[in-house]
Structure formats: structure tokens, C-alpha cells
Chain A
Amino acid sequence: MRSVISVYVENKYGVLARVAGLFMRRGFNIDSLTVSETEDSRYSRITITMNGDENSREQLINQLTKLQNVRSVKLLGGDSTVEREIMLIKVRNTPENRSEIMAATEIYRAKIIDYTTDAMCVEVTGEPTKIKAFIEVMKPLGIVEMCRTGVVALDRGANVLEK
């Protein structure tokens, strides 16, 4: 089961190490982790996506709650959440590939942000499922390298994390 967890933390020395250390120590497997500043410079927001059963998700949330620098932890996901991720993907630019890459880019509402005679770099933004689908399309064309930001997510509407 995939879960998205949002963690509101104090923007202090070592906080990321504490959070990451907790995952390692307790044996949690996480898929992605992003850290960013928030509307308030004293705090940062960490967004974690993980795969695991309900029990390990509950443990992860409870253990995170215990860290001194963690203000609040919220389980996001489902219809009430908006999720986005950015991927930069570099694909081989050959006469045979070119039109297909450009067509896919158009259909996925992605952007070509770099173009040379031997490679194209495409920026794709969207939900992780969309990113995954785009990768599948590019695979046969020859992916040179790629990089993903990991998921950022917010609750829809006026709901906010407890601070």
C-alpha cells in the first residue's frame, strides 16, 4: 500500500538526519523524500512516500511524532490530496526517435527544455502515475539518464497541517 506522509518540522540543524536516521534504524522503506521551506521560515515540510502495510505506516507516523523537532505528522493521500512530482528525462535524439519524443511530450503536456543533436531533455510534471507512464513510453527510445524530485503533496481546500 502506497502512503504519502507530510511532516512539519523545525528548520534546525540536523533535522533531516534525525528523520532519515529514524527510517534506517527502524527499518522503514521509503520511496521518496522531499524537504522544502514553508511559508514560515522557522519550519520545513518533509513529504515522504512509502510502501508498506498499515501497521508499519502507523509505526512510522508514531515514531516520527516522537522526534523533538517534529511539530506534526499527517497522512495524506486519496481524493483529498493533490500530489505532484517533476522529472527531468534525457532521451537519445535520433532522426527515428525525434517525432515520437515530441509527440509524447505534447500529449503528456511536458516540455522539452534542452535540445542537442544527440539528446533531448524533457521536463515532465504530474502525479507519479503520469511520470511512470511517460518513462514507459521513453524506454524503447533510449533513456540516457533521468532524475525525479520525489512527491510534494498538499491537502485540497483550506485544510492545513497542524503547527
Chain B
Amino acid sequence: MIMTGAKIAIEALIAEGVTDVFGYPGGQVLNIYDALYDAGDRLRHILTAHEQGAAHAADGYARVTGKVGVVIATSGPGATNLVTGIATAMLDSVPMVAITGNVPTYLIGRDGFQEVDITGVTMPITKHNYFVTDVKDLADTVREAFRIAKSGRPGPVLIDIPKDVQEAEYDYTPAAPLPPVRYPVADESLMRDAAELINTSVRPYVYIGGGAAREGLGGEILALAEKIDGYVGSSLMGLSLIPSSEGRFLGMQGMHGRYASSRAAKEADVIIAVGVRFSDRTTGDIKNYSKNAKIIQLDGDIAEINKNVPVDVGIVGDITAALLKITELCEEKKHHKWKKKIEAYREQGRAIGAEMEKNAGETLTPKKIFDVINSLKNDNTPLVTDVGQHQMWTAQYARFEKPRRLATSGGLGTMGYGMGAAIGAYIAEGERPVLITGDGSFGMNLNELATAVSYRVPMVIVVMNNGVLGMVRQWQTLFYDKRYSSTVLDRKTDFVKVAEAFGAKGERVDTADGFRDAFERALACDGPYVIDTVIGMDEFVLPMLPPGGKMEDIITEDVISSEESEKEGSE
């Protein structure tokens, strides 16, 4: 059928199974929006307040469903506003297709109005990108883009379509989506090597990340851990794969990880790493990272093996197949000493937490906030975060029972991610999301409240408001001699009035009971509900392994208070 490039783009999206797109119109995508006008019954368009919000929404949509999130923006500033969202998706391997308009091909390179070389700009932050110069290539480009976005280790793909290509006509023949390429199964001898290491170990630890979460390997990982009597810890991206109630799961490890999980990683004699990249936030001092352990790494992406940490066995390829084979080859074991040790670490971790809560008294603490959230949310509630202390508290305290229930910017650490992502998560499934944010992060993209109101997104927005940029301030306290450079916000923003001005509801609370009541009201509300939650500016994310530090350098409340008294003593 002969149709315009704009229509071909829309038809090709629909053929890929896309039902929702996020975006913002503009001069050079007018034709695509014109085509959307006719396709409204098959393809819903969600108009955000800002292109960045649209990109994060597509990302949130993709994270909770595993489907490809789609975002559309115009040329120039529309396209550059996507950049943070695309980079966020890239660093966390989120499948996304971004479509941008551009000036007509005959104006390319002349610096006309709203022209930017967005393929050049996004080259290092996309899995691949396209600049389509001929309408003949358009349909195949869209198909190929979806295949690349979904294949192997997923990621964002951008398609830049000049306006004259959108206008040009060509014959469109519908075609089925191209099947994503799966990684091949690695050589079985590697699985044997891995099993041999595991069989001779007495302190096995399975370390899971985003790669494992994406493949939904919760059951398989627990089966392995069960058989070899090991424990499981995760990176931030690996959270929500294994139920929090699962006894073998120790939670996140690393800089702000759970005490027992980080200790277990340190003490283990074999680490089975599944779909992780050993980011600096989990390893600390790379030279000393679990140097007593043999490391087995399973990853689809060949470039991840030996990238950050040298491994003893690197298994590149289909991680599901590798995991199943290793489990089969492993002997059933019982490690009583290891179990005892882990239980002791858990007890120590609990004691550290209890001490912190005791010292806090009646004050509203992050822990108390999460006690309420955990008790009132349901297993399907998507938790979305921004970036900072609140994000780490979420990682530490939030409980998950089902996979894909956490959307958080792990790799790029994008403040301002949450509003868009939570809207996207809701659009994907119609499940009420809870956004945990901070006053700093919320301030970055709270314009998306407008979107949440327009589309009646019944989201709960918990703003952990401490009046400071808490995470940076925490570093300043610990490592910069309390020189609080530009982290004390001293703003007079009234988030309740902000919510009301946008047509949403809001209230301010400063006690645990008040928070519980507010949260209940928020859950009964059919639109966005902001809970401005006052917490102390000296709440720290603890324990903390300092950057580049070793387990021995771990910072707990004890360390901070003893440093305080030392200082007082010397003065």
C-alpha cells in the first residue's frame, strides 16, 4: 500500500505490537503526529510536559513489562531533551526505541532552525542509531531497530527521520517483527569448570544483577543456591528478582548494601556472578574485591567478562542455559559453618539497624517510612525511585515479592528519572505506582505532575524531604570535612501547594502515624497524591563502604559517633 513515510513509521510501530508511545510534538515531527491522529484507536500517545519525562516514561514502561518503550520527539531541542533518558536506558540495558524528526535532507548540515545531529550526539549512548535518508528504508529500519533493542543485552535505539522522508511516499508491506537474537549457549566445558569450583567450595555466594533480573531467573537462581547451600546477594539492578521473604536472599551488596550481603561477598570462597558488571559501587576497591574468592561470571555480553574484575571462569552466552547446566552439574551440599556465619552477619546487621532506630526515638526515619509502605503496598505495586539517599533506602528497606517491581536508575544515576518512569509504569499495566523521591530529585522534573493529572495516574509520590541534597551532603560530612558546598537547599517550595496547583492532591507529614494515614488516603485517591514527608537532614545511608574502600573500612553509625566524640575530645 502506498503511504507517506510518517504513516509507514506509525504502521511499522503498530506491527511491532506497540500500543502506547510517549512524546512531545514539534515542527519536524508534525507529519508523524498527523499520522498518529488517524491511528489513535490503535496507538495511544501520552503527551508529557517535557521530552525528558517522555523518555523516562518509555523507560519505566519497558522496565516493568520487558517490552520495548517508545518515545517520539521533534528535532533539535526535542531530540537533545531525550539524551538523559536514552543514556539512562543505555546504562541499565533497557529496551527503547526513540524516534526523532529532523530538518529535511536538503537542509541537513546547514544549521537551520532546530537542526541538531542527534545520531552523532547519541552514538555513544545508544546500542545503535539510524539516520534515515530514503523512505524506502524506513519500514525495515523500524523493524531492525526493534530487533536490536530487544536482542541479547537490550538497549536504546534511535531513528532520526528527516521531514521530507516523512512526507515522501512508498509502498508499505506489513511484516511480522524480526525475532530478537538470543546469545548462543557457551561451551559445556566452561560449565564443568564452574561446577568444579563450586563443588570444592564451602562458602558459595551467588551475586545477581540486571542481566539475571531481565531473564527472570529467580527460580533458577534459588534452585542453584538451594542445591549448593549458598546465599544470594544482588546489585541494585538485581533487586526484586528474588522475593525479600526468601531466606537465602541477603539483599543488595556494595557501597550501601545490606551488611550481611556485603560481608558474605567478602567472605565467600566462590562467587557465581550472574548478569552483573561489577560496577565500582558494588566492588569498592577493585584490587581487593573478594580476593579470596574464585569468581565465575555468567553474562551474555562478551565485553563484560574481565572488564572490571578478573574472573576465574567466564561464561559468555545464554545465561539461562548456563545456569541450568551448572546447577545440574553441581553436587548437593550442606555448609553448616557458612550458614552459621551468615546468620551471625544477619544478626549484626539487624543490631546495627536496631541501634539506629533506637537512637532515632520518635523521629520519622526512612526505616519507619518503609515499614508503612511495605505493609500497605501490594505485591504488584511498582516501586519507582529517583536518585540519592531515598533510592538507597528503598534498596535497603523496600520489600519485593514479584519480579520487575522496581524501576530505578542504577547505572547513570539520573535524578529526575522517577516522575516520568512512574507514569510510564502505570500506563503499561494500570497498576498504581509508588514513587519514592527526594526534595532534590522531585524538584528536577516535577513538571510531570501535569502529565500525571491529565492522564489520572493514581500514583503515590513520597517526597523524603530533608531540605538538603542528602547523598552529596553525606559525602561532604564524611569525606569533605562538613563543608556543605551547595547542598543546603534553603528553598521555600511548598510541595502541597505545588501538587494543588497542578490539580493533584498533597499533604505534609512528619510522624510515622501521620505518614500511615496519608499513605492510606493516597491509596484511595484516583489521581497523583504527593506526601511531603519531613525527615532529618542528618539521616545517613548506612552502612556505607567508602568509594574504593575495603570491607574493613565499613562505616556504621558507631564509626560516625566515635569520630564525632574524638573530634569533640580533641577540640
Contact = CB atoms under 8 A, between A and B. Distances in A.
A66 B131 CA distance: 19
Interface in A30-73: 55, 58-59, 62-63, 65-69
B123 A21 contact: yes
Interface string B290-324: 00000000000111011100000000000000000
A78 interface: no
Given A55-B306, A62-B302, A68 B119 contact: no
A69 B305 CA distance: 22
B287 to A, nearest CB: 14
Contacts of A13: 131, 133
A25 interface: yes
Given A13-B131, A68-B128, A59 B303 contact: yes
A59 B307 contact: yes
30 contacts: A13-B131, A13-B133, A14-B119, A14-B120, A14-B123, A14-B131, A17-B120, A17-B123, A18-B123, A21-B123, A21-B124, A22-B124, A25-B124, A55-B306, A58-B306, A59-B306, A59-B307, A62-B302, A62-B303, A62-B305, A63-B303, A65-B302, A65-B303, A66-B302, A66-B303, A67-B128, A68-B127, A68-B128, A68-B148, A69-B128
| List of 3 A-B pairs having minimum Cβ-Cβ separation, nearest first | A62-B303, A68-B128, A62-B302
A14 B120 CA distance: 8
A69 B127 CA distance: 11
Interface residues of B, number: 15
B119 A66 contact: no
Interface in B88-145: 119-120, 123-124, 127-128, 131, 133
Nearest to A65: B302
Interface of A is mostly: helix
Interface in A1-29: 13-14, 17-18, 21-22, 25
Nearest to A12: B130
B284 to A, nearest CB: 20
A68 B155 CA distance: 12
A30 to B, nearest CB: 17
A58 B314 CA distance: 13
A15 to B, nearest CB: 11
Interface string A101-121: 000000000000000000000
Contacts of B306: 55, 58-59
Contacts of A62: 302-303, 305
A39 B124 CA distance: 30
A127 B148 CA distance: 40
Given A14-B123, A59-B307, 5 more contacts: A14-B131, A55-B306, A62-B305, A63-B303, A68-B128
Contacts of A66: 301-303
Contacts of A63: 303
Contacts of B302: 62, 65-66
